[in-house]
Amino acid sequence: MSAVNIQLRRKGILTLPVSLRRKYNLDENDVFTLEDLGNGSFLLIPQVSNVARLGDRVAEVMAEEDVALEDMLEALDEERQDYYREHYDRP
């Protein structure tokens, strides 16, 4: 474990060094839990949202593949209907 000095700025803003942000794959708007350990010691724990990251990745792939949201939703609806027919439809 290594110590890093950071400065508390206006409105309580702390900036994490880029080396730590890269090492732990932290991005703007990530949420953290701040634990008060007493005697002026704090523990900062990232609460990384996999849902947000996966959503961003889906958006990236859709843009790369030039897929419109409407097309994806239509394909998902068709898949859902096929799944229902295969698993729940009774002859």
* Domain assignment of residue 4, yes or no: no
The answer to whether residues 53 and 60 touch, using CB atoms and an 8 Å cutoff, is: no
Q: Whole-angstrom Cα distance, residue 52 to residue 67?
A: 19
The answer to whether residues 39 and 64 belong to one domain is no
Three-state secondary-structure class, residue 8: strand
Contacts of 37 (CB under 8 A, 6+ apart): 43
The answer to whether residues 79 and 60 belong to one domain is yes
The answer to whether residues 19 and 33 belong to one domain is yes
Which tens digits make up the pLDDT trace of 15-69?
999 999 999 888 888 889 899 999 999 998 888 667 877 888 899 999 999 999 9
CA dihedral 6, 24, 50, 13 (to 10 degrees): 10
In terms of residue numbers, what domain contains 69?
50-88
> Structure pTM?
0.47
The answer to whether residues 31 and 57 belong to one domain is no
Query: Structurally, how many domains does the chain consist of?
Result: 2
Q: Whole-angstrom Cα distance, residue 4 to residue 27?
A: 19
